[in-house]
């Protein structure tokens, strides 16, 4: 065998062997952890659906809490017996027996003890490029349970500690979680993992969680999806010259560009859109920023094409949820 190829195969084997070894060392030697985290969710086209920050704790076996702080304030908490998922916006908490969620919960890979009972582990090469120079070793974990709600979890480990985590769900969305200011084997007590039920919330208790598992580690996924769907519906209505649907996307307190009364602005838009021939409106590079619980900024690049004009511009929509519907309060070009 070619000596260079032989050396390469040995080196490759050594790199692959280290990932699971580091994961086992992490499970066996780290009994607790506290850390700040950032979480980004991309769809299968690379469009950003979510960008949140928070803090997390875990204590083996099976106790963990994830507090989402920016821009949402939601919680995922396991006290070792039950899993609580609290959605502040919906004022709803879902409660499930932790014994039922094993392979349906990516978080148990971090806080559990018997990982290979629920997951098939495999050493893999770095597939994501950006982390290639950070000496991170990657392990792929595929759930053994059918209908888990996610396809796989990829763990990044550095010197037997957890650096990053990626979850690929059934919709091919990729959730990337990065940890910073992590502390290991910290002193934590059981009271740190108690869920305090807020007043006036709806409680949903389930005996199994397969149908809910894709929402774990992605609370408010529905809100981000709503905003993406809203801006696409707005663009499609404009492209189709469905003027009534297009105008229905604007709030009654919409800040018109020139300070005109809303009925005058609506009449002007109706006349301008209807006078055009074919219209194609394309949007890309969408970025969502939650300003408050029910208000957001949607930023994107807009390409407008008609019989007479083709132009590309940056645009921002300031939107607010009113009576369960997202509506535009201000439309800003060039930002």
pLDDT tens-digit readout, 40-57: 988 888 888 888 999 999
Kindly report the pTM of this predicted structure: 0.58
* Domains of the chain in sequence order: 3-217 (2.50.20.10), 223-333 (3.10.450.50)
Band of residue 210 on the pLDDT scale cut at 50, 70, 90: very low
Dihedral pair phi/psi, residue 208, rounded to 5°: -150, 160
pLDDT exceeds 60 at position 133: no
137 in Cβ contact with 15 (< 8 Å): yes
What's the helix, strand, coil split of the chain in %, to 5?
A: 30, 45, 30
Give dist(CA 91, CA 74) in Å, integer. Answer: 10
Using alpha carbons only, give the angle 68, 104, 229 rounded to the nearest 5 degrees. Answer: 55
145 in Cβ contact with 102 (< 8 Å): yes
Instruction: Supply 8's token pair.
Output: 């390469």
At 248-285, the pLDDT tens digits run 999 999 999 888 899 999 999 999 999 888 999 988 88
CA 127 to chain centroid, in Å, comes to 19
């Amino acid at each position: 065998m070619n000596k260079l190829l032989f050396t390469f195969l040995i080196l490759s084997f050594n790199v692959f062997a280290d990932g699971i070894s580091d994961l086992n060392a992490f499970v066996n030697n780290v009994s607790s952890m506290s850390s700040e985290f950032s979480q980004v969710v991309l769809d299968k086209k690379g469009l950003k659906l979510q960008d949140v920050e928070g803090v997390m704790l875990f204590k083996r076996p099976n106790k963990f809490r994830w507090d989402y702080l920016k821009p949402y304030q939601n919680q995922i908490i396991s006290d070792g017996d039950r899993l609580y998922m609290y959605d502040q916006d919906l004022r709803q908490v879902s409660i499930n027996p932790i014994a039922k969620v094993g392979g349906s919960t990516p978080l148990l890979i971090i806080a559990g003890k018997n990982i290979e009972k629920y997951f098939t582990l495999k050493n893999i090469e770095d597939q994501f490029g950006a982390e290639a120079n950070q000496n991170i070793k990657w392990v792929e974990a595929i759930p053994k349970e059918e209908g888990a709600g996610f396809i796989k979890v990829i763990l990044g480990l550095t010197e037997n500690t957890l650096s990053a985590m990626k979850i690929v769900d059934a919709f091919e969305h990729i959730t990337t979680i990065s940890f910073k200011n992590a502390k290991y084997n910290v002193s934590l007590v059981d009271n740190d993992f108690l869920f305090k039920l807020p007043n006036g919330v709806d409680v949903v208790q389930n005996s199994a969680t397969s149908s809910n598992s894709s929402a774990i580690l992605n609370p408010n996924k529905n809100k981000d999806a709503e905003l993406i769907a809203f801006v696409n519906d707005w663009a499609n209505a404009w492209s189709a010259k469905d003027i009534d649907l297009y105008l229905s996307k604007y709030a009654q307190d919409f800040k018109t560009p020139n300070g005109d009364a809303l009925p005058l602005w609506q009449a002007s838009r109706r006349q301008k859109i209807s006078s055009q021939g074919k219209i194609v409106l394309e949007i890309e590079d969408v970025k969502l920023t939650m300003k408050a619980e029910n208000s957001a900024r949607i930023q994107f690049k807009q390409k407008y094409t008609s019989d007479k004009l083709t132009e590309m511009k940056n645009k921002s929509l300031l939107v607010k949820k009113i009576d369960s519907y997202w509506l535009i309060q201000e439309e800003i070009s060039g930002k």
